[in-house]
A and B are shown apart, each in its own frame.
Chain A
Amino acid sequence: MNKTITLCLMDPPYESANTTTALRIVDAAIRQHVNVNVFAYEGAVALTVKDQAPHANPVHGTSVEEEKHPTTKDFVASLARLADAMNVNFDWVNCGLCVDERGTGNVIESARRGGPPDFLEMVSTSDASLVVPTRRD
């Protein structure tokens, strides 16, 4: 039986290396046939917003194609595809209240709307859980 890990993310896109590390953990877990739950809370609900767009870099003089600016929605979508390929469960839940506050409801298909009860259910049914808090120094 596959193991399951739950992560709670709180940082918004492009604000913290924490998100990169957390997504690397998700990727590594999926590749080891570990089921992954992610509960996106506070600013992290913007990680899956469909309206994200790559951009050119005028400072570098690069076009959109040359810059290959990554978007977090594409990271998450690729993790969902990887999970499908590895035949493991990948459940990404955005906190609905956080979504409404921020107007970030237009999200990719890999994410669904939920709430704290989903997080409780995720933690209760996981082998391990990791909360990645927003830095508040």
Chain B
Amino acid sequence: MNRYCFIASRCAVSGTGTQDLYRRAAVLARSGAAVSIYLVQNGVMASRPQVSNALDEAHAQGVRVFADDFSLRERGITASEMRPFVEPLAVDQWVRHALSNGAAKLIWH
């Protein structure tokens, strides 16, 4: 199974192409790939509800959505403010995720 690990570093609202990234992840998941999105830096703003329907759709297609715990803390975003499907994840856990179960394609946006 192909594995794709996207890193989304830009805000879903103001960042160019971020919504397209979510849609691309959804398409890949729908085709049978194992796909994750790691929200980092301003990308974690999308962990709040109602910021992006495209992220909801990606999750509905089976994309796992993680959020960098460091970036969350920097921006004062707590677990109670986050969409339930977004999983806080430390960077060392992401490295483990990215390198486990065979090589994944890592894509930074």
Interface residues of A, Cβ cutoff 8 Å to B:
3, 5, 17-18, 21, 24-25, 27-29, 31-32, 34, 127-133, 135, 137
* Interface residue from A3, A27, A128, A133 paired with B108 (Cβ < 8 Å): A133
Assembled-state Cα–Cα distance A126/B106 (Å):
12
Q: List 27 A-B contacts (CB under 8 A).
A: A3-B99, A5-B95, A5-B98, A5-B99, A18-B9, A21-B7, A21-B9, A21-B91, A24-B70, A25-B95, A28-B91, A29-B99, A32-B92, A32-B95, A32-B96, A127-B99, A128-B99, A128-B105, A128-B106, A129-B106, A130-B7, A130-B107, A131-B108, A132-B108, A133-B108, A137-B15, A137-B16
In the complex, are the beta carbons of A29 and B9 less than 8 A apart?
no
Cβ contacts under 8 Å, A132 to chain B: 108
Cβ contacts under 8 Å, A127 to chain B: 99, 103
Name A's interface SS: mixed
Assembled-state Cα–Cα distance A131/B108 (Å):
7
Total inter-chain residue pairs, C-beta < 8 Å: 53
Cβ contacts under 8 Å, B70 to chain A: 24
Q: Which size class do B's interface residues fall under?
A: 20 to 34
Assembled-state Cα–Cα distance A128/B4 (Å):
11
In the complex, are the beta carbons of A130 and B106 less than 8 A apart?
yes
Instruction: Write the nearest CB–CB distance from B98 to chain A, whole angstroms.
Output: 6
- A128-B104, A130-B106 known; 5 new pairs, CB 8 Å cut-off, are A5-B98, A18-B41, A32-B92, A128-B99, A133-B108
| Nearest-CB residue, chain A, relative to B70 | A24
Assembled-state Cα–Cα distance A21/B74 (Å):
13
Cβ contacts under 8 Å, A129 to chain B: 106
B64-99 interface mask toward A, CB cutoff 8 Å, 1 = contact, 0 = none? Answer: 000010100000000000000000001110111011
Cβ contacts under 8 Å, B9 to chain A: 17-18, 21
Cβ contacts under 8 Å, B7 to chain A: 21, 130
Shortest Cβ-Cβ A-B pairs, 9 listed: A28-B92, A130-B106, A28-B95, A137-B16, A17-B41, A28-B91, A127-B103, A24-B91, A132-B108
Instruction: Write the nearest CB–CB distance from B7 to chain A, whole angstroms.
Output: 8
Cβ contacts under 8 Å, A133 to chain B: 108
In the complex, are the beta carbons of A21 and B103 less than 8 A apart?
no
Instruction: Write the nearest CB–CB distance from B3 to chain A, whole angstroms.
Output: 9
Q: Is B37 an interface residue (CB 8 A)?
A: no
